[in-house]
Amino acid sequence: MDHFLYRDGALFAEDVPISEIAAAVGTPFYVYSTATLLRHFQLFDDALEGTDHLVCYAMKAASNQAILKTLAQAGAGMDVVSGGEYLRAKAAGVPGDKIVFSGVGKTADEIRTALTGGIRQFNVESEPEMEVINAVALELGVVAPITVRVNPDVDAKTHAKIATGKSENKFGIPIARASEVYAHAATLSGLEVIGIDVHIGSQLTELEPFELAYTKVAELTEQLRAEGHKIRRLDLGGGLGIPYTRANDAPPLPVEYGALIKKTLGHLGCEIEIEPGRLIAGNAGLMVSKVIYVKSGEDRDFLILDGAMNDLIRPAMYEAHHDIVAVQEPEAGVEQQPYDIVGPVCETGDTFAKQRNMPPLVAGDLVAFRSAGAYGAVMASEYNTRPLIPEVLVHGDQFAVIRERPSFDEIINRDTIPTWL
């Protein structure tokens, strides 16, 4: 469920007409709904009710500080995957003891930044990284809390580019080697081993892979405890999928996911951490774009939009589907027609949808890409010297620009010219 609904023939974000935002900020832009963000966070928080837990929002999904602050004020922690994300979470007011540091290649500088500013735990991805965290902690005279990310060799049954839990993926240490790695970690005095971490992929639409992975984590917890390690926290990653189209079956709900966690791991008495990103932000955001031209090709019509692959890369990168709707609600009974929906970038890959049925549209009409809140704005680039598009946050009947569209001068003046030219 989201808060982007038609009212009196026009699409709204909560209580604000999309067309009003478009008139104020220009197109294209991203718009997020506060109520939807909070609702999704709350679903996870409620799903784990009765267990000691923290929902750490995976901020790589949508990392604007206004979004982070909205969620942090509701009680969310943050899962960060770079030093930049760590600093951004801190800038949004998230305390260090609610920030979890994941990511496969943390540098000594990033580790130093987090240990200096305060950190809930590092999710360690490899033995060399473990050595560096230990060395930096000793140099700073602190003890770094860590979990080790284990790779359970489970097929997440999702797009290959976002599956992370198979043995051939770069993530975590093989679960079969966990015993050895934990024994070694226990000898490093700069580290305090507090638990286990697992994250098997993104956009999972079934519970079974989670169940396989969490069952393995439960067994590992008992084994490591028997070997003398104090396992008190389990970080279970993120990955629960969202419905990208209303046409197919909806993925499992957070409440079902929470029940699975309790069933597989509840008996261990551990604190539970989860790191959802997509499910919190995905359906809480739209990308709104304008039709520049309707072009009739040999055998098809193209809708050429002012938004492009550099603004929303998911269709080009993951063959992802986004529902695209007209901001002006089509009249009942109006006949739809197929369009290829494309952006102006000079690549055939700049295609959002092929032969998509839409109501008849003309230049100047607005369209909205649904489910664009996660892995949308954060993956945008300035390819073709197109400015990063603005982000807007709606709260009831208010809206605010939370990232401005840069001017062309700002973009162009970032280049510096060598003295020999």
Ligand X SMILES: *Cc1c(COP(=O)(O)O)cnc(C)c1O
Choose, by CB under 6 A, the member of 53, 88, 120, 199 that binds ligand X: 199
State the nearest-atom distance from the C-beta of 268 to ligand X, in Å: 20
Per DSSP, the residues of 325-380 read: EESBPPPTTPPPEEEEEE-SSSSTT-EEEEEEEE----TT-EEEETT-SSSSGGG-
| Phi/psi at 371 (5° precision) | 60, 35
Q: Which of 83, 152, 165, 237 binds ligand X (CB under 6 A)?
A: 237
- Closer residue to ligand X in complex, CB, 102/113: 102
343 binds ligand X (CB under 6 A): no
**Segment 77 to 96, residues that bind ligand X, using CB under 6 A:** 79, 81
With CB under 6 A as the contact rule, the residue among 276, 307, 315, 376 that binds ligand X is 276
3-state percent breakdown (helix, strand, coil) of the chain, nearest 5: 35, 25, 40
Do 285 and 32 form a contact (C-beta atoms < 8 A)? yes
- Structure-block tokens of residue 263: 């069933």
The residue within the footprint of ligand X, chosen from 11, 21, 59, 61 (CB under 6 A), is 61
Name the catalytic one among 1, 346, 362, 417. Answer: 346
The verdict on whether 346 is a catalytic residue reads: yes
Which run of H or E residues covers position 301? strand 301-305
In the bound complex, what is the minimum distance in angstroms from residue 149's beta carbon to ligand X? 8
Our finding on whether 126 is near ligand X (CB under 6 A) is: no
Of 149, 193, 208, the residue nearest 175 (C-alpha): 149
CA pair distance 245, 188, nearest whole angstrom: 49
- 60 interacts with ligand X by CB under 6 A: yes
Counting contacts by CB under 6 A, is residue 278 touching ligand X?
A: yes
- Determine how β-strand 99-101 pairs with β-strand 77-80: parallel
CA dihedral 314, 315, 321, 326 (to 10 degrees): 100
The window from 136-144, 196-204, 249-257, 413-421 that contacts ligand X (CB under 6 A) reads 196-204
Considering beta carbons, is residue 61 or 178 the nearer one to ligand X? 61
Binding ligand X by CB under 6 A: which of 28, 165, 239, 307? Answer: 239
252 sits near ligand X (criterion: CB under 6 A):
no
Residues that bind ligand X (CB under 6 A): 58, 60-61, 79, 81, 102, 199, 202-203, 237-239, 275-279
Q: Which positions are catalytic?
A: 346
